[in-house]
């Protein structure tokens, strides 16, 4: 007979938070894909990686700024 291992409270709390974080990262990536053509038209030397990093940085700044209306 094997005993059951119960997840800790920390594990139960982290899983939904991690899911939210992953969803944000996916949304940021999709936003970068969508917005890159217009931006590279204005800045031809801009790599997708540079653009992606700026999208993630902007999203991070919006989450930290309590004055923004974004989630």
Q: How many domains does one find in the chain?
A: 1
Domain that holds residue 46: 26-66
Has residue 44 got a pLDDT over 90?
yes
Q: Annotate the chain with three-state secondary structure.
A: CCCCCCCCHHHHHHHHHHHHHHHHHHHHHHHHHHHHHHHHHHCCCCCHHHHHHHHHHHHHHHHHCCCCCCC
Q: List pLDDT tens digits, range 14-29.
A: 777 788 889 999 999 9
For residue 8, tell me if it sits in a domain.
Answer: no
Has residue 71 got a pLDDT over 50?
no
For residue 55, tell me if it sits in a domain.
Answer: yes
| Arithmetic mean of pLDDT, 4-10 | 69
For residue 38, tell me if it sits in a domain.
Answer: yes
Residue 70: pLDDT band with limits 50, 70, 90? very low
For residue 2, tell me if it sits in a domain.
Answer: no
């Amino acid at each position: 007979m094997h005993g059951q291992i119960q997840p800790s409270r920390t594990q139960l709390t982290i899983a939904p938070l991690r899911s939210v974080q992953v969803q944000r990262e996916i949304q940021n990536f999709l936003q970068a894909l969508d917005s890159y053509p217009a931006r590279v038209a204005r800045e031809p030397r801009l790599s997708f990686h540079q653009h992606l990093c700026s999208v993630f940085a902007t999203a991070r700044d919006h989450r930290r700024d309590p004055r923004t209306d974004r989630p």
